[in-house]
Chains A and B, each alone.
Chain A
Amino acid sequence: MITNEHYKNRPYLGYGLGLRKEHYETVLTERPDVDWFEIISENYMVDGGKPLDYLTRIREHYPMVMHGVSMSIGSTEPLDFDYLKRLKALIKRVQPAWFSDHLCWTGVNGLNLHDLMPLPYTEEAIQHVADRVSQVQDYMGRQMLLENVSSYVSYSASHLCEWEFLREVAERADCLILLDINNIYVSAYNHNFDPYTYLHAIPAERVYQLHLAGHTHENNLIIDTHDHPIADPVFELYAAAIQQFGRVSTMIERDDHIPPLPELLAELDQVRHIAEHQLSDQVA
């Protein structure tokens, strides 16, 4: 059995939420019982104005982590050092517990699709991504977290499973993992694999953060829309993740149909209850 004793060095922030502009004022005036916030890095890569002002004031009261969507770590284009420079400056400003981006590519030919495009699970892609993660970590002077994405396409070229790919990239690059439980569930459904097999293959010592979110059924697929409450099967998978990994910082991502903050706090209580129940079972 895995207990927290195994991962004493893993920082633990508790239960968090994605910081969204709809909640800025409530967060500042009511200081809700959220252990930490995750920010979307690109939302604050501006020169000044209101978003940065809110960020500064909220940061005074809450720990934060930074989550990016534009690093395009899997692209075959050269790394965008202009982007990385701005990211580094934001890291210096926010002093996050860690920063993350997605195991994906977002464009080639100087273009950006602004989507998290999946990679083929090949040896070539593993080496390509691992090399680039190492470059980023060298430039930033710290480890980064890579997140598994939801995917709707499977490549004929893939000869590995997604979990083998993720594990191998993380080990070769010596980076950490942000495991999105909803994304595992979505991709498992779309590509007909067992989400628990995925979970069990992930090296626990590298998992520093978990994402939870809602999804939508569409065209005989599940789409990772982040516009609904977390679905029951995702909660079940989360319980298994806590059983396997022990105490890991967990947060809810909601990006559309954003409800009033109390609704998300109630959902976060549900998350907390499930995790603490799993952990108390372990102690017992």
Chain B
Amino acid sequence: MTPLAKLQHRFQESVLDPGKAVSTTWISASGRAAPDIQLSIYCHAYRARLREVLANDYPATQTAIGDDHFNALVTDYIDTHPSHYFNLRDFGQHLPGYLADRVQYDAGYQEMHWLVELAEFEWTLGLAFNAADVILFTEQDMAEIPFEAWPELRFIVHPSLHRLEFEWNTPEMWLALTADPPTPVSAVHNQAGSWLIWREQLVTRFRSMPGDEQQALDKVCMGGSFYQICEQLATLMNEEEVPLRAAGLLKAWIARGLIHKAYLNT
């Protein structure tokens, strides 16, 4: 290792693990502040910056558990999940998984299963916010597809589209916690539901889905053909209802900017 590389590794280790007693002879004592003070500026700034990023990414999570609890949580996260990313935007991506572990193994988090869902919801909203812009499939495009092509037609959804399953009243909690000022809300279990998160033009949106829509949309996302979507719906309703429901769902998805394009497997 070159002297420069050695110096950078030593400095980084001191920032990542400030509690570890390491020699500071590599820091000159000629400055205005003593070497340990010089070093502490970087240690402090590192954690403060990352805490701020996580507070911006997870505002409802912070409000839900309070500033002190949130600070303790994210300080642990910062120390166990150092950033591997050039963009600060990606730093908080493992927090929902980290919380899931804490809820499972840490007595202090035992009653907080809902917090995992809340954090996952917040992170997914951010993913939708920054997803790629694409040209949307329109009703006009739909009208131009020949009748005989429909059974084999497949669809590509908007890149911002995400599906989440919740057991708690998570979106309701998020709305209450991010209101200005936040409004009182309780975590309620057994609120099982499928939720759709996406960006319509520039606005991030979410809504719950009935079971048949969830199954049909899952089929679309897996590359299923229109015929296969209809087959799926036929397991849930009378066959004569299927064409109208399938067409209605597709029309609604197109209207809300969920479909990027349609294609035929050739």
Interfacial residues, chain A to chain B (CB-CB below 8 A) = 42, 45-53, 70, 72, 75-76, 80, 82-83, 105, 107-115, 117, 119-120, 122, 124-125, 128, 152-158, 189-192, 219-221, 223
Q: Count A-B contacts at CB 8 Å.
A: 144
- Bound complex: CA A105 to CA B15 (Å): 14
7 contacts between A and B (CB under 8 A): A111-B82, A111-B83, A117-B11, A154-B28, A155-B26, A191-B30, A220-B33
Q: Mark B20-34, 1 if CB is under 8 A from A, else 0.
A: 000001111011110
Closest chain-B Cβ to A38's Cβ sits at a distance in Å of 18
Top 10 closest pairs, chain A to chain B, by CB:
A48-B133, A47-B132, A76-B5, A152-B41, A70-B86, A46-B130, A154-B28, A153-B38, A48-B132, A112-B83
Q: A154-B27, A154-B30, A221-B32 are in contact. Are A108 and B5 (CB under 8 A)?
A: yes
Name the CB-closest residue of B to A42: B87
Is the CB–CB distance between B4 and A124 below 8 Å?
A: yes
The yes or no answer to B9 lying at the interface (CB within 8 A) is yes
Name the CB-closest residue of A to B201: A53
Is the CB–CB distance between A70 and B87 below 8 Å?
A: yes
Closest chain-A Cβ to B38's Cβ sits at a distance in Å of 4
Is the CB–CB distance between A120 and B4 below 8 Å?
A: yes
Is the CB–CB distance between B38 and A124 below 8 Å?
A: no
The yes or no answer to B131 lying at the interface (CB within 8 A) is yes
- Bound complex: CA A110 to CA B84 (Å): 6
The yes or no answer to B199 lying at the interface (CB within 8 A) is yes
Is the CB–CB distance between A108 and B9 below 8 Å?
A: yes
Name the CB-closest residue of B to A50: B202
Closest chain-B Cβ to A112's Cβ sits at a distance in Å of 5
| Residues in A whose Cβ lies below 8 Å from that of B202 | 49-50, 53
Q: A153-B41, A219-B41 are in contact. Are A114 and B133 (CB under 8 A)?
A: no
The yes or no answer to B42 lying at the interface (CB within 8 A) is yes
Among B43-51, B64-72, B170-178, B218-226, the one that faces the other chain is B43-51
| Residues in B whose Cβ lies below 8 Å from that of A80 | 86
Closest chain-B Cβ to A161's Cβ sits at a distance in Å of 12
A110-B84, A114-B88 given; 5 more Cβ-contact pairs under 8 Å? A46-B89, A47-B131, A108-B8, A115-B15, A157-B7
Closest chain-A Cβ to B2's Cβ sits at a distance in Å of 7
| Residues in A whose Cβ lies below 8 Å from that of B160 | 48-49
Name the CB-closest residue of A to B85: A112
Name the CB-closest residue of B to A80: B86
Closest chain-B Cβ to A194's Cβ sits at a distance in Å of 14
The yes or no answer to B129 lying at the interface (CB within 8 A) is yes
Where chain A touches its partner, the secondary structure class is loop
The yes or no answer to B12 lying at the interface (CB within 8 A) is yes
Is the CB–CB distance between B49 and A114 below 8 Å?
A: yes
Query: B residues 115-156 with Cβ under 8 Å of A?
Result: 129-134
| Residues in B whose Cβ lies below 8 Å from that of A53 | 133, 202
Q: Which residue among A48, A75, A80, A122 has the maximum number of chain B CB atoms within 10 Å of its CB?
A: A48
Name the CB-closest residue of A to B49: A114
Is the CB–CB distance between A221 and B130 below 8 Å?
A: no
- Bound complex: CA A49 to CA B252 (Å): 22
Closest chain-A Cβ to B265's Cβ sits at a distance in Å of 26
The yes or no answer to B254 lying at the interface (CB within 8 A) is no
| Residues in A whose Cβ lies below 8 Å from that of B7 | 120, 155, 157
Name the CB-closest residue of A to B86: A70
| Residues in A whose Cβ lies below 8 Å from that of B131 | 47-49
Closest chain-B Cβ to A153's Cβ sits at a distance in Å of 4
| Residues in B whose Cβ lies below 8 Å from that of A82 | 86
The yes or no answer to B3 lying at the interface (CB within 8 A) is yes
- Bound complex: CA A223 to CA B38 (Å): 11
Q: Which of B41, B49, B133 contacts A223 (CB 8 A)?
A: B41
Q: Mark B76-103, 1 if CB is under 8 A from A, else 0.
A: 0000001111111101000000000000
- Bound complex: CA A122 to CA B132 (Å): 44
Q: A49-B130, A50-B129, A219-B41 are in contact. Are A114 and B50 (CB under 8 A)?
A: yes
The yes or no answer to B244 lying at the interface (CB within 8 A) is no
The yes or no answer to B196 lying at the interface (CB within 8 A) is no
- Bound complex: CA A223 to CA B32 (Å): 13
| Residues in A whose Cβ lies below 8 Å from that of B37 | 219-221
Q: A45-B87, A156-B27, A190-B31 are in contact. Are A115 and B49 (CB under 8 A)?
A: yes
Is the CB–CB distance between B83 and A153 below 8 Å?
A: no
The yes or no answer to B59 lying at the interface (CB within 8 A) is no
| Residues in B whose Cβ lies below 8 Å from that of A189 | 32
Is the CB–CB distance between A219 and B132 below 8 Å?
A: no
The yes or no answer to B242 lying at the interface (CB within 8 A) is no
Q: Which residue among A45, A75, A114 has the maximum number of chain B CB atoms within 10 Å of its CB?
A: A114
| Residues in B whose Cβ lies below 8 Å from that of A42 | 86-89
Is the CB–CB distance between B26 and A47 below 8 Å?
A: no
Closest chain-B Cβ to A4's Cβ sits at a distance in Å of 37
Name the CB-closest residue of B to A154: B28
The yes or no answer to B112 lying at the interface (CB within 8 A) is no
| Residues in B whose Cβ lies below 8 Å from that of A115 | 15, 42, 45-46, 49
